[in-house]
Amino acid sequence: MKKTVLICGFLILVLLCGNLVAATSALPGGVLRWMAYNTRSTRVTYLAHLAEELPDIHMQYDHVPVDHFTVTLSVQLLSGKGPDLIEGGGETRLLASMDRLLDLTDEPFLGQYRYAGLAPFSVDGRVYAVPLQSWFEGIYYNKAIFAEHGLAPPATFDEWIELHKKLREAGVKPQTMGAQSWASLMKQSIGIVNNEFYARPENAGFDAAFDRGEAKLAEAWLPAVTLWSRMIDEGCLTPDMLDYSDEQALMEFASGEAAMWESGPWSIGEILRINPHIQLGMFPFPTVEGSTGWLVGGPGSALSINVDSPNMEAALRVLEATATQEAQLALIADNMGEPYLEGMQVDFGPVYAGCADAFALEQVYAPWTAAWTFGNPIVEAYGKALQEVLAGSKTVEEALAEADAVNAHMRAALEAIE
């Protein structure tokens, strides 16, 4: 009997301690918990700037890998233990639809931003996040290899395919790709979709219709993705790339074993670390007609506030402090990207000179982050299906239909809470 009492007492003590810890772990006022899918290393200068500007606010920066970010964040928010500040991206519309984010529409600092940066984080005309900076992805190329074989960046899609052939004939691997990750194929195909579909004014309303479940990728995108699939048919992308990781592809490109690789500014540090003497350039995805090509990208991560945050005022002060040129320059110091602050432009440097026209024309777009509520699961299904297209076991039409099916599934999941 005594033992039973002892064991029960011990269990009650454990439970009480658990509650005590939970109760005392609530953050005191002025201390902000920040959850982000970007690593702290990409925010060091910016966080130091905030610490200087807001010395009374202590911030705790929690990095959650992007694969688990949406679910981890949603679970924390629903259980009432969510972070005060959320540095997310594609899930902003979803969380806003679930009434989990603070409506920022009437905050004065929103006036500092261009509409292009706010639109992806708006639902029914209300704004729920402010953009930190843009991201973009194009085709890196090794200028020395191109020069050695008398080649120039392609002006058209056909020239791009020809370029692959010429490099192959010269004994150079034209393009490498870490296609073990579904994201690489997905982004490259959407680069061509940007050129041949989104560039046309008549398709401006497509994403909104798709998001409402009223339009399908399998119909609208089919011609553009079929065009891109020539990259596979012509041997520019090969099935052996399906077991290449991004790291292997980066290594192959950086060491000069491949002439082209699709990526963005976040890779440049590692490329230069491996090969400090590499002569780098980047060009946008070439169009059929030869007009200025598009890049894949858009507003990257954005800051939003948990609607249940006990530190709302401090969180708003962080957003206010972010809407300044100094804060934006601090962001750029760790990660190259275009700021969305009115009147602020940055020089991306000589590596990205080939993309200057695309930047000037604002031809940078990624529909899944810019406009789709369920962007991440849809592009994952699409990217995995494209791996099967590269392997030869699926058609482009089937791949697009799979993405449509995920959109339908996820919409069904959301409909009940709307």
Binding site for other proteins (CB under 8 A): 3-4, 7, 11, 67-68, 70-71, 74-75, 78, 94, 98, 179-182, 239-244, 248, 252, 257, 377, 380, 384-385, 387-388, 390-391, 393-394, 409-410, 413-414, 416-417
Structure tokens at 29: 């006022």
Cα–Cα–Cα angle for 98, 99, 103, rounded to 5 degrees: 135
The dihedrals phi and psi of 139, each to the nearest 5 degrees, come to -105, 110
Query: What span, in angstroms and rounded, lies between the C-alpha atoms of 48 and 62?
Result: 16
The strand pair at 295-299 and 364-365 is best described as parallel
Per-position DSSP letters for 138-200, written without gaps between them: EEEEEHHHHHHTT----SBHHHHHHHHHHHHHTT-EEEE--TTSHHHHHHHHHHHHIIIIITS
* Minimum distance of other proteins from residue 79's CB (angstroms): 9
Which residue, 109 or 182, has its beta carbon nearer to other proteins? 182
* Minimum distance of other proteins from residue 20's CB (angstroms): 20
Which residue, 242 or 272, has its beta carbon nearer to other proteins? 242
* Minimum distance of other proteins from residue 273's CB (angstroms): 19
Which residue, 315 or 385, has its beta carbon nearer to other proteins? 385
CA 284 distance to own-chain centroid: 17
Cβ-contact 353, 283 below 8 angstroms: no
Which residue, 3 or 273, has its beta carbon nearer to other proteins? 3
* Minimum distance of other proteins from residue 163's CB (angstroms): 22
Identify the DSSP state of 271.
H
* Minimum distance of other proteins from residue 388's CB (angstroms): 3
Q: Using alpha carbons, list the distances in angstroms from residue 224 to 157, 366, 369.
A: 12, 15, 19
CA 198 distance to own-chain centroid: 18
Structure tokens at 389: 């297209």
* Residue 9: CB atoms within 10 Å: 10
Which residue, 351 or 401, has its beta carbon nearer to other proteins? 401
- Per-residue burial over 134-147, b if 16 or more Cβ lie within 10 Å, else e, is bbbbbbbbbbebbe
- Per-residue burial over 237-255, b if 16 or more Cβ lie within 10 Å, else e, is beeebbebebeebbbbbbe
* Minimum distance of other proteins from residue 380's CB (angstroms): 8
* Minimum distance of other proteins from residue 315's CB (angstroms): 22
* Minimum distance of other proteins from residue 112's CB (angstroms): 32
Which residue, 98 or 123, has its beta carbon nearer to other proteins? 98
* Minimum distance of other proteins from residue 100's CB (angstroms): 10
Nearest one of 322, 338, 344, 372 to 110, comparing CA atoms: 322
Query: What span, in angstroms and rounded, lies between the C-alpha atoms of 308 and 311?
Result: 9
Identify the DSSP state of 26.
S
Which residue, 182 or 266, has its beta carbon nearer to other proteins? 182
Which residue, 82 or 117, has its beta carbon nearer to other proteins? 82
Which residue, 233 or 313, has its beta carbon nearer to other proteins? 233
Which residue, 179 or 190, has its beta carbon nearer to other proteins? 179
Which residue, 244 or 368, has its beta carbon nearer to other proteins? 244
Per the document, the length of the chain is 418
* Minimum distance of other proteins from residue 301's CB (angstroms): 18
* Minimum distance of other proteins from residue 34's CB (angstroms): 20
End-to-end CA distance of the chain: 54
The strand pair at 134-142 and 364-365 is best described as unpaired
